[in-house]
């Protein structure tokens, strides 16, 4: 690989690990628990659907409470909204911790992803840049044991601003001793990963579009689109070729 790309920033969730799939497996375990131990019927799935909605809205409604309390409350509210009656914090805690432990257990770096990161790191610096609550993201990083594949790891919840703010990208550049024009951002979310890379003036942004989604016209436009992170090495070679030819 040439020297035109000096660093690659990777998103974590649904880019390197299947967070959505792991979360679904956690929900299935909770449904089994509610049906077998507590004799819930269709309410079990309704509760899990409600929690999923609450999880997806967390970034819209930041909370000052710790993530454990906040997410236990999601379960407590969902159970009460579905079943009525008094709040049941004990059951909410049981559901939350079962969901969380199952989810973390299924957050793994696939062998082919490990091999790709190992090969890439022979030529460029690798940095993990993930948004989210400090505790939650650090637990995921620990669970998938990805620390040794990166030169640096930056968690948005530990910084003043998260993606897509340019400041966090410039902080990452400073950590690695590179310029924004030396770096490529790889991620699955247009509004944070791609918009952030564009805001920060990175050399290129690479959107991972696993499901062939058609983005909205108002969405940020990535430089490149791939369907799997495993397609990245060939793309980086291509970026280098284009830069060499233009020079």
Q: Give me the pLDDT at residue 79, please.
A: 98
| Residues 92-138: tens digit of each pLDDT | 999 999 999 999 999 999 999 999 999 999 999 999 999 999 999 99
Q: Give me the pLDDT at residue 1, please.
A: 45
**Angular region, 197: left φ>0, alpha ψ -120 to 50, beta rest:** alpha
Calculate mean pLDDT across residues 14-39. 98
Task: List Cβ neighbours of 121 (8 Å cut-off, separation of 6 or more).
Answer: 149, 151
Q: Give me the pLDDT at residue 242, please.
A: 59
Would the pLDDT of 245 be above 70? no
Between helices 89-105 and 43-56, what is the axis angle to 10°? 70
Task: Give yes or no for a contact between 211 and 190, defined as CB atoms under 8 angstroms apart.
Answer: no
Q: Give me the pLDDT at residue 193, please.
A: 98
Distance between CA atoms of 27 and 103, rounded to whole angstroms?
Answer: 9
Q: In this structure, what DSSP letter does residue 17 have?
A: B
Percent of the chain with pLDDT strictly greater than 90: 90
Q: Give me the pLDDT at residue 163, please.
A: 98
Q: What is the pTM of this model?
A: 0.93
E strand segments, the chain: 7-10, 125-130, 152-155, 183-187, 204-208, 224-226
């Amino acid at each position: 690989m040439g020297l035109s790309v000096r660093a690659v920033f990777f998103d974590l969730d649904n880019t390197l690990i299947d967070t959505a799939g792991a979360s679904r497996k956690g929900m299935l375990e909770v449904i089994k628990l509610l049906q077998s131990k507590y004799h819930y019927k269709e309410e079990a799935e309704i509760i899990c659907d409600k929690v999923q909605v609450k999880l997806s809205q967390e970034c819209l409604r930041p909370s000052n409470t710790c993530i454990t309390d906040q997410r236990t409350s999601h379960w407590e509210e969902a159970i009460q909204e579905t079943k009525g009656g008094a709040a049941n914090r004990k059951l909410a805690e049981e559901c939350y911790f079962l969901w969380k432990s199952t989810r973390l257990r299924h957050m793994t770096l696939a062998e082919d992803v490990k091999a790709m990161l190992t090969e890439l790191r022979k030529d460029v610096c690798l940095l993990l840049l993930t948004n989210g609550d400090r505790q939650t993201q650090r637990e995921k990083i620990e669970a998938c044991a990805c620390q040794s594949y990166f030169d640096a790891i930056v968690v948005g919840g530990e910084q003043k601003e998260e993606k897509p703010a340019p400041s966090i990208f410039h902080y990452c550049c400073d950590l690695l001793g590179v310029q924004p024009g030396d770096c490529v951002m790889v991620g699955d979310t247009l509004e944070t990963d791609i918009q952030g890379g564009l805001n920060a003036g990175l050399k290129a942004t690479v959107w991972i579009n696993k499901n062939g989604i058609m983005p909205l016209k108002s969405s940020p436009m990535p430089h490149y689109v791939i369907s799997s992170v495993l397609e990245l090495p060939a793309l980086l070679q291509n970026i280098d070729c284009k830069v060499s030819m233009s020079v």
